[in-house]
Amino acid sequence: MEKNRLVKSLEVGKTNRDEALVAELIRLEKRIFPKHESLAENFGQEIQRRNSGVLYVLEDSSESGNPSTNEEKVRGGVAGYLMYSCTSLVATITKLAVKESCRRQGYGETLLRAAIEKVRSKKVMCVNLHVDPVREPAFSLYKKLGFEIETLVHSYYAPNRDAYRMVLTFDSDK
């Protein structure tokens, strides 16, 4: 059952809060992704790119358990984030990251649904992404929301580490 969570869009460079938020997203990026897949070193540049965006969701305060710091207790902490980019016809989900302690609780689905809604409003024809076939929870989530395997990309992440390229195509009459 998906909860009604508030997904926020990152407004870079507006306030000190945004700088703190970006720092928290970078910490999450470093914890989740191996160095060769991480955008941590170029995170600020990535989120400033034209036609790109970042959505994030905070942990539910009632579900956050024992936060490690008072700061997390006050603001819930970031549960996850999603990065995307759009061209005139196609949107690409470039990152979907959910904090390990928040997985299997609907945060990823919430972010992905919000991103699909946001890019669909931009009148793109489809959304694509890449996923490691061994990441079964992520693959299952994408299938659940209507993504279909377009092709297998050999050595996408690293030598002998493939990826499915998945696509969600929108009906042209909507």
| Cα–Cα dist 137/113, whole Å | 16
Dihedral pair phi/psi, residue 131, rounded to 5°? -145, 140
Domain segments of the chain as ranges: 7-169
What is the share, in percent, of the chain residues with pLDDT greater than 90?
Answer: 53
- On whether the CB atoms of residues 59 and 78 are closer than 8 A, the answer is yes
pTM of the model: 0.81
Using the structure block, give the residue that is written with the tokens 């170029």. Answer: 42
Instruction: State the pLDDT at residue 71.
Output: 42
Mean per-residue pLDDT, 11-17: 56
Mean per-residue pLDDT, 6-19: 70
Instruction: State the pLDDT at residue 124.
Output: 93
> How many other C-beta atoms are found inside a 10 Å radius of the C-beta of residue 40?
18
Total residues found in the chain within this entry: 174
- On whether the CB atoms of residues 81 and 55 are closer than 8 A, the answer is yes
Asked if CATH classification 3.40.50.300 holds for the domain at 7-169, the reply, yes or no, is no
